[in-house]
Each structure stands twice: as C-alpha cells, then as structure tokens.
C-alpha cells in the first residue's frame, strides 16, 4: 500500500467527516429533522447521496469522484469487523447470577421477545421474497433479498455493511444492491419506529399505562438539536482505566479490539491455507466474536476488569458506525434498489405489523412489571437501533427510575450475539429460500414457546 492510497483514504474520510458535520448542522437548525430524531450520520449520508453524482449525475453539486464512491461502498463492510468484534468486550463483568437477580426476571423475557422478533423479521423477509419471485418473476429477485428487513430494522444502518461484507466474500455480484436495500430498510425502520413509537406512547399515556411519563414535546431541547450548550451538564462518559504515562485509555481499548480483529484474520488465513472443511468458510467477524468472548473471560479470570470501561468501547464503535452509515448511504445504488420498490414497500409494512404484534401485544402478556416501558424499548430496538429504543424509553422514564434500561441493554447484547451467530447458517441456505423461511420461522416460534413456558413458570412461583 503506497502513500498515495493512504492519502486517498484520508481524503475520503475528510469528505465523510464533512457530510457528518453538515448533518449535525442541519439537525440543529431544521425542526422536522429534530422531531424525527434522525442521526446526523443519516442526514449527512443522504445529503451526499442526493447532491452527489449518484443522483445528480454530471450536475452534481458535490462532485465526489466515482472512485471515492466505490470506496464508500466498501467502507461499511470493512468497519463492521471491529464493530462486531467489540460487542462482547466488557460484557458480564458481574456474575450472571447477580445480573439476573438484580433484574428480577426482566432480562430473559426481553431477550426472548427481542430475539424472536429478529428471527420473525428474517422469516417475513424471505417469505416476501418467495411470494414476489412468483408474482413478479420479471424482477429476477436475487437470492438474499429479504434478509435486509431484519438487518435493517433490528440492526440499523451499521449492519448494512455486514450484508455487503458477507455477500462480497461469497463473491455474490448483487452485494452492493443488497447493502443498499439494507440501508433503505434501516432508514424506513428508524423513521417509522420513532413516529409509531410516539403514537403508541401518547395512546398509552391516555390509558394511564406508563409509570413515569413525561410529555414528548417537553423533551430537552439538546436532545432534539443534538448538542448540549451548558458545559456543566455535559456528561463525562468514560473512566480513565489506564494512566496516560503508559497508554491512553481509548488507545488501550482500541488495541484490544484491533488485536482481536487481527487474530481473526490470522485464524481464517490459517484455516483457508490448510483447507479445513467448514471452518475455513466462516467469516472473520464470526471468529472475532468468539475470540473476544475468550479475551473477555480471560480479563475477568485475571481480575483485570478494572481496565475495561464498556463506555469507552461504545464511544469507539459509535465513531466507526457513524462513518459507516455516511459511507453506506452516500454510495447507495439508487437505480438498482428502486427496481425492488414494490416488494420492499410490502415487506416494510408487514415488518412494522409483525414487530407490533410480537413486541407490543405479546410483551403485555409476558412482562411482569413496567410492561409498556419494556415493550416500547424493544419496539424501538426492533425497528431502528438500540438508541431508538433508549429514546422512546426516556420519554416514558425520563429519570430512569425503573430497571428497564439496564435489562434492555443486557438483553440487546445477548440478542445481537445470538443473531450474528445464526446469520451464517441462514446465508448458507440461500439457494433454498424455502428452507430459510421455515428455519427462521421455526426459531422464532420456538423462542415464543419458551417465553410462554417462562411466563407460566414465573406465575407458578408467584402463586406458590
């Protein structure tokens, strides 16, 4: 790799950074964007898409070189590895028994419903693909169509790079289109999730179903605009777990994440060199999760947990996610994606209905306490990202007096790891869409059955 390539990479990130800053500015000034709570990365990405060469062609206001656009499409697939690898770091530094005891049984039901919803969305997406492959054969729908619903709704914009990464490594020519559909799914999910979530909150408030409600219109102005002007109220988000005379705390956490990524590359390279059956076909990110789980366990066993602050890790991965989102949206292949607009619209509408039924209706049955608060957090997670769920939860529980946020965060981490672990087997079945449909539907059904059993067991304990 030459200095010219490094310079080009720096120039590309300079453009992405400029789009991010433009997104921050527009979010701070435009009321509609504030009311939609759109992240600056999404706003900036669409500005780059609309004003760039993809939409405006030779009349582009932002004359981004086509070579840069091609690289933008690759960036999410590269950055997704450290994003996913970091997930287990710092997880469960408390003993599992202590976590479950403190949650009073809240984590398990939230984990089950959240995971069931994610796999239900997979089933619905592939089911949509099967139906439209027969109704509109002229579309020639690619085999992976449908998985973007769950990855977009449940995973958000950040995981759009995951589908691109996987399909590209499998040498599927449609990887860029699939990544674009995933970005579209994530955008529809986050906007629709917030709008529908607000309606659900207002309806629940009228029925007195929320314990600590605040008026959604009374949310702090900084939450809407995206910045805090009062320095005294600006939160200190991280601990200095290491001394700067040795290493910066952020650098220490990043070194661990990058080190795990490096080990996963080495492991995959070794397995491919020796042509180990099955194992050599597993992607680097899957091994990265497993390796990080081992690293996390070693840190705990050596009583070095004081060195890890999950908030530092979160800040680092949030940085990667923001740049991934801008790059993915700014390089979205609009013409190719619009070809599938009809099945996409049907899939998205059905997706919102499915999330509502599994999360809002069944949640009212399964949850023992703070039923609506738990359900609305999961609803936000299942249509956008974890921050969407936290935003909707904050409206219902502004001072975080309930245990829902902690239960929600742990259940989300567990659900995410399980879904990532199941993703590769699902993709391996791509040639047989019917098998995928029944597999994902079956997993969702099993999880719901377990949830019902869990509910009955809890009721028996209470009655006893």
pLDDT tens profile 31-66 = 888 887 788 998 999 999 999 999 998 899 999 998
User: What's the mean per-residue pLDDT of the chain?
Assistant: 83
Stretch 342-351: mean pLDDT: 95
Distances (CA, A) of 254 to 14, 17, 208, 210, 317: 21, 20, 45, 40, 9
Who's near 323: CB < 8 A, 6+ residues apart?
Answer: 13, 16, 17, 20, 41, 75, 79
Report percent pLDDT > 90 for the chain.
31
pLDDT score of 261: 95
Judged against a pLDDT cut of 80, whether residue 426 lies above it is answered with no
Judged against a pLDDT cut of 50, whether residue 238 lies above it is answered with yes
Q: What is the pLDDT of residues 74-99, one digit of tens each?
A: 898 888 889 888 988 987 665 444 44
pLDDT score of 217: 58
Stretch 325-353: mean pLDDT: 92
| Cα–Cα distance measured from residue 70 to residue 183, given in angstroms and rounded to the nearest whole number | 16
**Is residue 89 within a helix (H) or strand (E), and if so which, with residue range?**
none
Judged against a pLDDT cut of 70, whether residue 237 lies above it is answered with yes
Confidence at 230, pLDDT banded by 50, 70, 90: confident
pLDDT score of 463: 61
Number of Cα atoms under 13 Å in the Cβ half of residue 380: 28
405 against 13, higher pLDDT: 13
212 against 202, higher pLDDT: 202
Stretch 386-413: mean pLDDT: 79
Q: What is the pLDDT of residues 288-315, one digit of tens each?
A: 888 998 999 999 999 999 999 988 998 8
Nearest alpha carbon to residue 333 among 73, 15, 28: 73
Number of Cα atoms under 13 Å in the Cβ half of residue 266: 7
- For the four alpha carbons of 327, 128, 201 and 365, in that order, the dihedral sign comes to negative
Q: What angle do CA 104, 410, 157 make, to 5 degrees?
A: 145
pLDDT score of 350: 95
Nearest alpha carbon to residue 161 among 77, 85, 78: 77
* Window from 64-73, 151-160, 191-200, 335-344 with minimum mean pLDDT: 151-160
- For the four alpha carbons of 41, 42, 45 and 47, in that order, the dihedral sign comes to negative
Judged against a pLDDT cut of 60, whether residue 103 lies above it is answered with no
* Window from 23-37, 107-121, 207-221, 286-300 with minimum mean pLDDT: 207-221
| Cα–Cα distance measured from residue 182 to residue 153, given in angstroms and rounded to the nearest whole number | 9
pLDDT score of 354: 92
Q: How is residue 311 written in tokens?
A: 């908030």
| Cα–Cα distance measured from residue 390 to residue 378, given in angstroms and rounded to the nearest whole number | 9
Q: What angle do CA 374, 378, 384 make, to 5 degrees?
A: 150
């Amino acid at each position: 790799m030459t200095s010219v390539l490094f310079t080009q990479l720096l120039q590309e990130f300079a453009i992405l950074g400029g789009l991010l800053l433009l997104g921050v500015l527009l979010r701070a000034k435009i009321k509609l964007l504030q009311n939609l709570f759109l992240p600056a990365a999404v706003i900036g990405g669409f500005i780059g898409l609309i004003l760039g060469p993809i939409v405006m062609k030779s009349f582009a206001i932002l004359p981004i070189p086509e070579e840069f656009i091609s690289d933008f499409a690759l960036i999410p697939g590269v950055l997704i590895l450290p994003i996913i690898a970091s997930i287990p770091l710092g997880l469960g530094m408390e003993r599992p028994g202590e976590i479950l005891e403190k949650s009073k049984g809240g984590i398990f039901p939230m984990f089950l419903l959240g995971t069931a919803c994610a796999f239900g969305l997979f089933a619905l997406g592939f089911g949509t693909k099967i139906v439209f492959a027969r109704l509109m054969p002229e579309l020639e729908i690619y085999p992976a169509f449908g998985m973007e619903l769950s990855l977009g709704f449940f995973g958000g914009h950040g995981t759009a790079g995951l589908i691109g990464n996987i399909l590209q490594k499998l040498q599927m020519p449609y990887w860029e289109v699939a990544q674009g559909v995933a970005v579209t799914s994530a955008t529809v999910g986050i906007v629709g999730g917030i709008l529908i979530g607000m309606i659900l909150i207002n309806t629940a408030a009228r029925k007195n179903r929320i314990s600590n409600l605040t008026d959604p219109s009374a949310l702090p102005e900084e939450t809407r605009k995206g910045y805090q002007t009062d320095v005294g109220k600006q939160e200190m988000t991280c601990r200095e777990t290491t001394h700067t005379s040795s290493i910066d705390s952020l650098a220490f956490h990043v070194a661990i994440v990058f080190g795990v990524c490096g080990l996963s590359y080495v492991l995959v390279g070794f397995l491919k060199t020796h042509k180990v059956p099955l194992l050599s076909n597993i992607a680097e990110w899957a091994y990265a999760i497993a390796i990080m789980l081992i690293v996390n366990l070693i840190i705990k066993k050596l009583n070095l947990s004081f060195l890890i602050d999950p908030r530092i890790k979160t800040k680092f991965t949030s940085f990667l996610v923001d740049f991934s989102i801008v790059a993915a949206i700014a390089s979205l292949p609009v013409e190719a994606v619009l070809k599938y607009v009809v099945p996409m619209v049907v899939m998205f509408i059905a997706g919102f209905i499915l999330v509502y039924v599994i999360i809002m209706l069944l949640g009212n049955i399964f949850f023992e306490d703070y039923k609506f608060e738990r359900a609305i957090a999961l609803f936000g997670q299942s249509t956008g990202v974890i921050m969407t769920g936290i935003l909707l939860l904050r409206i219902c529980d502004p001072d975080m007096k309930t245990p829902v946020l902690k239960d929600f965060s742990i259940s989300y981490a567990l659900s995410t790891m399980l879904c990532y672990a199941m993703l590769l087997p699902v993709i391996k079945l791509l040639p047989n869409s019917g098998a995928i449909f029944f597999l994902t539907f079956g997993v969702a059904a099993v999880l719901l059955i377990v949830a019902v059993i869990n509910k009955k067991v809890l009721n028996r304990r209470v009655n006893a």
